[in-house]
Amino acid sequence: SLLEYKTKGKLQKQICQVALDHFEKQYTTELGEAWASVRDVLTYPLCWQYAILLNKFSPSAELENTLHVKGYHPAFPGSLPYLPASFKCYIRRTPGRFPAQKHQAGKLKEYYLLNAASLLPVLALEVKDGEDVLDLCAAPGGKSVATLQCASPGQFHCNEYDDLRSRWLKQTIESFIPDPLINLIMVSKLDGRHIGDLKPELYDKVLVDAPCSNDRSWLFSSDIQQATLRLIQRKELPYLQFQLLRSAIKALRPGGSLVYSTCTLSKAENSDVINLILNSCSNVMPVDITEMAKAVSQEFTFLSGMQQHELLVLPEKGRAWGPMYVAKLKKI
Ligand code: SAM
């Protein structure tokens, strides 16, 4: 039941029919007509795009020149609040991947390749210089690196529960962040569900980039067993996400805010989890992020009908970013 996916005679990734059937059913209900075009992007890796986030700690005029020549342009307009000129992310409308930079001992990397929608949770968090920040689920570290391109936090705590991924996170930070700034970053390997009790009311901003069902990669599950297992585990994710959010709220100072994000389209892991938090925690309120959504709407397509404190990026051809759900809450 695996569909072979061929281009130019070369065997490419294989779409997993079990996952596709499941998505087809769920997302036709949840997204309506929008699902068909999203599905076309997700199932066709040749139209996938990659953004290039420049590392302000290792600036390269030559790299920027190459990007201009290759038709790249800045992804974000200058009108976003708290976005310094040093924050540079390049994209282009045509698909394809810019070559990744190899690790070189003692040399900082010049750029990080990522899905441009991954930057929206970071922008929504609006970290300002001197604020104490917790990145609760941080590996491999894309959003940690992006946060440090936006501002210089007071304390920056990056946490990742998984052993192997935590090492990957450390490596990312070492490849992008120079001395002495790197000494301000604390990397921990805790269960994010306990951090609220361990570090109560310690942070101004918390990012909860939660473990979720990753729609893009699940469609290419290696076999039926893996896909079936993932679909079973999918049912348990909302409770884990709820617990991580509750912990994040505990870790926030009153007046502080958090951003919750996932890379799934699934309502059960997105709006439903946030609504449950809003209905069960009397010390949080939603924060309007429509201004940010409007400011970036040239490059991103959003699902319509969402509430003001949330957005869902829908991939489409030429703007193949997402899926990415973002919600912002404030602790009273
Ligand atoms: N923020 C990362 C980035 O931008 O590169 C991606 C994070 S990924 C979506 C979610 C991460 O949460 C995974 O690395 C996973 O291992 C981690 N995770 C899973 N359960 C966790 C828990 N209980 N506490 C903390 N992290 C957890």
The H or E element spanning position 158 is: strand 156-159
Q: State residue 12's pLDDT score.
A: 60
Question: CA 73 → CA 93, 165, 183, distances in Å?
Answer: 9, 32, 33
CA 201 to centroid of ligand 1, rounded, Å: 21
Q: Report whether pLDDT(7) > 60.
A: no
Strand partners, 96: 49
CA 157 to centroid of ligand 1, rounded, Å: 14
Cβ–Cβ < 8 Å for 150, 123 = yes
Instruction: State if residue 142 touches ligand 1 by the CB under 6 angstroms criterion.
Output: yes
> Mutate which of 125, 136, 150, 160 to test ligand 1's pocket (most atoms within 8 Å of Cβ)?
160
CA 313 to centroid of ligand 1, rounded, Å: 20
Q: Which of 80-84, 141-145, 203-207 has the lowest mean pLDDT?
A: 80-84
Pick the atom of ligand 1 nearest to 210's CA: 10
Instruction: State if residue 139 touches ligand 1 by the CB under 6 angstroms criterion.
Output: yes
Q: Report whether pLDDT(54) > 90.
A: yes
Q: Residues in the chain, how many?
A: 332
Instruction: State if residue 209 touches ligand 1 by the CB under 6 angstroms criterion.
Output: yes
Instruction: State if residue 141 touches ligand 1 by the CB under 6 angstroms criterion.
Output: yes
Instruction: State if residue 269 touches ligand 1 by the CB under 6 angstroms criterion.
Output: no
Instruction: State if residue 138 touches ligand 1 by the CB under 6 angstroms criterion.
Output: yes
Cα–Cα dist 244/238, whole Å: 10
Q: Which of 10-19, 84-93, 130-139, 222-231 has the lowest mean pLDDT?
A: 10-19
Q: State residue 304's pLDDT score.
A: 95
Side chain identity, residue 222: S
Pairing assessment for the beta strands 324-331 and 310-313 based on DSSP bridges = antiparallel
Cβ–Cβ < 8 Å for 147, 206 = no
pLDDT band at 106 (very low <50, low <70, confident <90, very high): confident
Q: State residue 6's pLDDT score.
A: 43
Q: Which two tokens stand for residue 61?
A: 């005029």
- Residue 273 sits at φ, ψ, to 5 deg, of -65, -45
Q: Report whether pLDDT(9) > 60.
A: no
**Residue pLDDT, tens place only, 273-284:** 999 999 999 999
251: nearest Cα among 287, 288, 286, 284: 284
Q: Which of 77-81, 140-144, 151-155, 285-289 has the lowest mean pLDDT?
A: 77-81
Q: Which residues are catalytic?
A: 263
Instruction: Return contacts of 274-278, CB within 8 angstroms, 24+ apart.
Output: 274/245, 274/309, 274/310, 274/327, 274/329, 276/238, 276/242, 277/242, 277/245, 277/246, 277/249, 277/329, 278/329
Pick the atom of ligand 1 nearest to 141's CA: 5
Strand partners, 2: 16
Provide mean pLDDT across the span 274-299.
97
Cβ–Cβ < 8 Å for 312, 302 = yes
Instruction: State if residue 192 touches ligand 1 by the CB under 6 angstroms criterion.
Output: yes
Q: State residue 103's pLDDT score.
A: 79
CA 192 to centroid of ligand 1, rounded, Å: 9
Provide mean pLDDT across the span 216-245.
93
Cβ–Cβ < 8 Å for 136, 248 = yes
Per-residue three-class SS string for 76-143:
CCCCCCCCCCCCCEEECCCCECCCCCCCECCECCCEEEECHHHHHHHHHHCCCCCCCEEECCCCCCHH
Q: Report whether pLDDT(305) > 70.
A: yes
Q: State residue 96's pLDDT score.
A: 85
Cβ–Cβ < 8 Å for 184, 153 = yes
Residue identifier of the C-alpha nearest atom 14 of ligand 1: 139
Pick the atom of ligand 1 nearest to 165's CA: 14
